[in-house]
Structure 1
Amino acid sequence: MGEHKNSANGAIGGASGGVKKQQEMKLVLIGREGVGKSCLMMQYISHSFDENHEPTLEDTSFTQRVVDGKPWALQIIDTAGQEEFQYLVEQYYQSGHGFLAVFDLCNKESLHELQTMFTRVARSKDLLDNSAEPIHPHIACVIVGNKVDLPADQFEVTQNDIDRFTRQFEFPFFETSAKTPLNVEEAFERLIRETSMKIFHSQPTPDSSGPQKKSRKEKGHHHHNGGRSGASNKCAIS
């Protein structure tokens, strides 16, 4: 387990010279082992990609962000993807405010496993009493399909798979690359907005809370970035 502080806690000065107090927000990365959760967090926190990254059981980082003028003190938890550590992950399901749900575009099973994880998150938050009620109004989540920088012929998850899954759960979706780093900042920023509105009940800003789906259908150039590199392989461990 590790813990990293990217910046000191405290207040952030406003444009007019005033001081805005930060509010704490806990974001949890979920997904099976190997989908790239650690690399996404590393790219977001330190704008880096480590080709020699080693697997982690759990890692926590701290950083500060201002989104829509509101300062946040973020605690970002990269959970273990291994089943034997689910007892620990369940604690984060219960205490987490927002969730970045990550699957590997080259592994269809990793997409299917998110459905089980969503059920566990809902159960931990006592949202399964009425099975007919959708969970998306009560859970702040963004779905991420990672490793979009790899060649398209390696993808197992099709656009139809993604469309069906996102229609079912109605969470915002982004295709990302922890390496390039396509849509990483955008996905985390959207998660902060979703969490701010659903959990902290902040008022949405114009154009900040509407449907969001950044996928290969809209950005066909994503797949022209060469072959699979050793770095992409090694930093696919979460």
Structure 2
Amino acid sequence: MESCSRVAFLGAKKVGKTCLITQLLKKSVPTKYSPTIETMFRYDIQTAEDSFTKLEILDTAGNFEFPNMLKKAVRSCHAFVLVFDLSNPKQTFEEIEMLRQLIIEEKGTEYAPIIVIGNKKDLVYGQDSVDNNILDAIVSIDWGCPYITTSAICKVNISDVYTVVCKELKIKIKHSSDVNGNSGNTTKHGVKHRRLSFSAFKRRMLVL
């Protein structure tokens, strides 16, 4: 029986969660901004043991617009990628601080790895800035979480996100493969995604 792991991408609006996911899975980014309610991406990845494991990526709404849905998503996921905007760190990093606390409260003693991503690196000059060093220390030392700086638009460190997520979930990926199936047969059924329509969203909110 194949195993399945679910990862949620969480963060404020317009920090680039959807762009990171689509760059990771499809090597492209959306041409225009469209607010996300909830989208699930599913794909199969080949492991080092030549078997397949299912990985689901949940793209969520920004901010705490739908708190019940957010809590339900947190309870259903095995790992979390918290995304903030390097060009607007004060507001967007505060958001992931609150999200981290929510994850701790909802998951309790259950192990749930958290990866922190500072996106939009292309808009910040000098990666080794004082602000970034402080944020790196908070995440890496105080929180004990992996920290990656990325640019979804410029395709910077995107593969690192995939590698770290798999490592934190203890998925031993085939060395020559990546999430896009570049080894030739990494993806067994291809990438599938399901976007939550507004009508489906309203029906779900009635039962939360």
Same fold by TM-score, threshold 0.5 exceeded?
yes
Q: Aligned to 1:82, which of 54, 63, 79?
A: 63
State the alpha-carbon separation in 1 of the partners of residues 18 and 136 from structure 2: 22
CA gap 1:188/1:72 in 2 versus in 1, 3 angstroms = same
Residues 106 and 156 in structure 1, CA contact (< 8 A), matched pair in contact too: no
Indicate the residue corresponding to 1:105 in structure 2.
86
Quote the Cα distance in structure 2 between the aligned partners of 1:157 and 1:94: 32
Q: 1 CA distance for matches of 2:2 and 2:119?
A: 30
- Work out the number of aligned pairs and report it: 171
Which residue number corresponds to residue 155 of structure 2? 181
Alignment root-mean-square deviation, CA? 2.6
Contact kept? 1:149, 1:180, Cα under 8 Å: yes
Q: Please, which of 24, 28, 48 is the counterpart of residue 28 of structure 2?
A: 48
- Residue equivalent to 1:140: 113
Length-normalised TM-score, structure 2 = 0.73
- The gaps in structure 2 that reach 5 residues or longer are 174-208
TM-score, structure 1 as length reference: 0.64
Pairwise CA distance, 1:156: 9.5
**Residue type of the alignment partner of 1:86:** P
- C-alpha change, 1:158 and 1:86, in structure 2 (3 Å) is same
User: 2: CA distance between counterparts of 1:39 and 1:103?
Assistant: 13
Could you list the runs of 5+ residues in structure 1 that have no partner in the other structure? Answer: 1-20, 128-134, 205-238
- Residue 27 of structure 1 aligns to a residue whose secondary structure is strand
Separation in 2 of the partners of 1:176 and 1:90? 27
Alignment of 1:133-172 (within 5 A): 138-152=111-125, 157-172=131-146
After superposition, residues 15-54 of structure 1 pair within 5 angstroms as: 22-54=2-34
- CA deviation map 1:71-96 (0-9, x unaligned): 32111101111322121011111110
Identity of aligned residues (%): 24
Deviation at 1:39, TM superposition (A): 0.6
How far 1:115 sits from its partner (Å)? 1.6
- CA distance, structure 1, for counterparts of residue 121 and residue 164 of structure 2: 19
Structure 2 equivalent of residue 5 of structure 1: none
Q: Deviation digits for residues 21-54 of structure 1, max 9, x if unmatched?
A: 6321111101111111011111111111123131
Asked if the contact 2:116/2:139 (under 8 Å) is kept, the reply is no
